């Protein structure tokens, strides 16, 4: 194989690792009321947090074996993929320890530090004293950054990711190293360089204890100033307790983020944002009208919609059910029943999981307000179909069910009635995304891990932008000021996410595009099944939803599945 040949393998993403587990959950559900612990992964698996949470948007999905989603965490190999040492061509490396001058890779007008639309403005050249050890995990030459991942970006090596990308590195390890080298050579860190560490789970622990131990390891062993964390509330609690600047994929409510200030932030929307924008949408567009997006003969004749809700809930999620009920009551709508569940394996959680669809059906719910996770949607839609129950599925930007191709794994007769909105980007082919372009600037001979691009890239751009904007004296106060001082990105053009941060808003997106699922739409991977975006993806924020019927399930020149 020539050095100029790029290895393009099967691109495995987070949905590859979650969806097989969904089928396992469905298969075991008949026994969970008797043996509720079966929903917990076995104790000897490396990642066994009971706090799985439904958050990041899935991208691609190709199914793998039932257990591969957990096997990959200990091997450093994505589920369903065998990564063989020595198969990747050599990478092209930048010179070591490059200190950016006056924005050497500036892009746009006015210039941004890198091409990403989420990047900070160009920083000036720097020379002089950076203050040295300005915070824990920071010294004159380095900033330590930990990764505490559960399903995406997992590797089998504990501690620092040392050295340049090597031929025997896994795809995930190679992607981490290329990202590290990319940001070190493009961003201004005032004489410092990022050092990446992975906090491997301790196989002698399980559940929340295991995730809390990872937070302790990030603080006490790796001495990290910052961390990118996936979804476990237990590790969030520990990382922030240990005063580590943390970005998370978890869609907990803003009140939870506020309780962790100034340490917790996210590039994904807070759950409370989804509820607030979703209830406004439902009141203005759906309430008091017939359920026109269902063909269920037992529902389609109703004079007006009957709402119910399926809600994922853990203590940190503060049960959004009552908030939904209260906000919908303001427009004269009763939401009943509201069924809560989680994936901890407790009796109450599995009862909700098992009974949700039955409760919706017996109460003649025409429109399901879905604030569940992307994994359980597989079971819920299969269960609904088996009961010959075909309601409208209202998707208000929560749980990762709203983007990418994950909808292919839901029953298509059911999900062809799914609509709502998404806070995330309108999809592009991988090669055209910011992440792939950035990766190829460092390593043109290989591709990045697709899941890491989907879920981690934007968070890294924002986290490291805050480090740049904080200036030479890097500590939690200067980085908080950097977070809240950055300009908000408007929704123009609408393909990208839009929003920003402030003192009472610790999550980035504020604007959403309407979506509906089309099983026949050609997606970014060339396969059938994708969300469509009416009005060319026009975005709306609080108070802006038009009072009208939703412009969904109809094609036209302004309807798209891919970003133009």
Angle (CA) 13-17-20 rounded to 5° is 130
Q: Is it true that the peptide bond before 337 is cis, omega within 30 degrees of 0?
A: yes
Cα–Cα distance, 50 to 30 (Å, whole number): 20
Which of 216-230, 274-288, 391-405 shows the lowest per-residue confidence on average (mean pLDDT)?
391-405
* pTM reported for the whole predicted model: 0.84
Cα–Cα distance, 163 to 33 (Å, whole number): 49
Q: What is the mean pLDDT of residues 220-230?
A: 97
Please list the alpha-helical segments (H only) found in 387-475.
412-415, 434-442, 450-470
403 band by pLDDT with thresholds 50, 70 and 90: confident
pLDDT of residue 95: 41
pLDDT of residue 353: 85
26 band by pLDDT with thresholds 50, 70 and 90: very low
Classify residue 547 as exposed, middle or buried by CB count within 10 Å of its CB (0-12, 13-18, 19+). Answer: exposed
User: Is it the case that residue 87 has pLDDT exceeding 70?
Assistant: no
C-alpha distances out from residue 548 to 289, 324, 557, Å: 10, 21, 20
End-to-end CA distance of the chain: 35
Cα–Cα distance, 358 to 389 (Å, whole number): 9
Domains annotated for the chain, with CATH where assigned, are: 271-427+509-540 (3.40.50.2300)
Q: Which of 243, 145, 209 is nearest to 456 (CA)?
A: 145
Cα–Cα distance, 178 to 165 (Å, whole number): 7
pLDDT tens for 323-381 read 999 999 999 999 999 999 988 766 666 678 889 999 999 999 999 999 998 889 999 99
Report the Cα 191 to chain-centroid distance in Å: 32
Partner residues linked to 522 by β-bridges: 528
Q: Write the CB contacts of 36 (distance below 8 Å, at least 6 apart in sequence).
A: 345, 346, 347, 349, 350
Calculate helix-pair angle for 321-329, 271-281, nearest 10 degrees.
30
Phi and psi at residue 324, in whole multiples of 5°? Answer: -60, -50
CB atoms near residue 23 (< 10 Å): 16
Q: Please report how many Cα atoms fall inside a 13 Å half-sphere around the Cα of residue 246, on the Cβ side.
A: 30
Name residue, tokens 């439902």: 282
Cα–Cα distance, 18 to 13 (Å, whole number): 9
Q: What is the mean pLDDT of residues 176-191?
A: 97
Cα–Cα distance, 557 to 283 (Å, whole number): 28
Cα–Cα distance, 335 to 309 (Å, whole number): 7
User: Is it the case that residue 242 has pLDDT exceeding 90?
Assistant: yes
SS3 97: coil
Please list the alpha-helical segments (H only) found in 113-245.
171-186, 207-220, 233-241
Cα–Cα distance, 414 to 388 (Å, whole number): 10
Phi and psi at residue 551, in whole multiples of 5°? Answer: -85, 60
Q: Which of 308, 310, 311, 274 is nearest to 291 (CA)?
A: 308
Angle (CA) 165-167-171 rounded to 5° is 70
Q: Which of 30, 6, 180, 3 is nearest to 96 (CA)?
A: 180
The token pair that represents 142 in the structure block: 């380095």
pLDDT mean across residues, the chain: 85
User: 352 versus 305: which is more confidently predicted?
Assistant: 305
Name residue, tokens 């060319």: 536
Query: DSSP code of 343?
Result: S
479 band by pLDDT with thresholds 50, 70 and 90: very high
């Amino acid at each position: 194989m020539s050095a100029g040949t790029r290895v393009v393998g099967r691109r495995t993403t987070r949905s590859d690792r979650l969806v097989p587990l969904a089928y396992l959950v469905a298969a075991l559900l008949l026994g969970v009321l008797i043996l509720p612990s079966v929903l917990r992964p076995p104790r000897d698996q490396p990642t066994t947090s009971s706090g799985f949470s439904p958050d990041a948007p899935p991208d691609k999905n190709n199914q793998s074996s039932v257990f591969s989603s957990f096997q990959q965490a200990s091997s450093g190999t994505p589920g369903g993929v065998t990564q063989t040492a020595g198969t990747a061509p050599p990478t092209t490396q930048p010179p070591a320890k490059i200190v950016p001058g006056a924005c050497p890779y500036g892009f746009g007008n006015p210039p941004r530090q890198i091409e990403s639309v989420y990047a900070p403005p160009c920083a000036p050249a720097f020379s002089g004293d950076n203050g040295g050890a300005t915070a824990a995990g920071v010294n004159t030459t380095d900033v330590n950054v930990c990764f505490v991942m559960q399903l995406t970006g997992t590797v089998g090596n504990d501690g620092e990711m040392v050295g340049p990308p090597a031929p025997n590195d896994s795809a995930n390890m190679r992607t981490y190293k290329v990202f590290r080298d990319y940001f070190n050579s493009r961003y201004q860190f005032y004489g410092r360089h990022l050092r990446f560490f992975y906090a491997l789970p301790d196989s002698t622990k399980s559940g929340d204890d295991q995730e809390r131990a990872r937070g302790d390891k990030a603080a006490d062993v790796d001495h990290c100033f910052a961390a990118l964390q996936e979804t476990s509330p237990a590790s969030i609690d520990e990382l922030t307790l240990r005063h580590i600047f943390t970005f998370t994929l978890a869609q907990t409510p803003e009140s939870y983020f506020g309780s962790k200030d100034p340490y917790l932030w996210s590039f994904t929307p807070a759950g409370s944002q989804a509820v607030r924008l979703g209830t406004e949408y439902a009141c203005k567009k759906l309430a008091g009208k017939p359920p026109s997006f269902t063909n269920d003969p037992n529902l389609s004749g109703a004079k007006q919609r009957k709402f119910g809700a399926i809600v994922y809930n853990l203590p940190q999620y503060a049960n959004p059910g009552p908030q939904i009920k209260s906000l919908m009551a303001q427009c004269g709508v009763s939401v009943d029943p509201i069924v809560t569940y989680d994936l901890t394996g407790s009796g109450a959680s599995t009862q909700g999981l098992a009974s949700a669809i039955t409760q919706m059906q017996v109460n003649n719910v025409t429109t399901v307000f879905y604030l569940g996770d992307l994994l359980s949607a597989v079971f819920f839609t299969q269960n609904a179909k088996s009961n010959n129950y075909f309601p409208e599925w209202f998707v208000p930007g929560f749980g990762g069910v709203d983007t990418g191709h994950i909808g292919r794994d839901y029953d298509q007769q059911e999900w062809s009635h799914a609509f709502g909105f998404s806070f995330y980007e309108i999809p592009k082919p991988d090669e055209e995304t910011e992440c792939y372009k950035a990766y190829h600037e460092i390593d043109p001979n290989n591709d990045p891990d697709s899941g890491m691009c989907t879920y981690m890239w934007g968070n890294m751009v924002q986290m490291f932008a805050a480090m740049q904007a904080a200036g030479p004296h890097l500590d939690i106060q200067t980085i908080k000021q950097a977070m809240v001082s950055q300009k908000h990105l408007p929704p123009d053009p609408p393909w990208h996410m839009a929003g920003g941060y402030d003192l009472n808003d610790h999550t980035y997106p504020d604007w959403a595009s309407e979506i509906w699922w089309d099983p026949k739409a050609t997606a970014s991977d060339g396969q059938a099944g994708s969300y469509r975006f009416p009005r060319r993806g026009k975005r709306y924020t609080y108070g802006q939803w038009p009072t009208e019927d939703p412009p969904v399930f109809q094609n036209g020149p302004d309807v798209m599945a891919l970003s133009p």
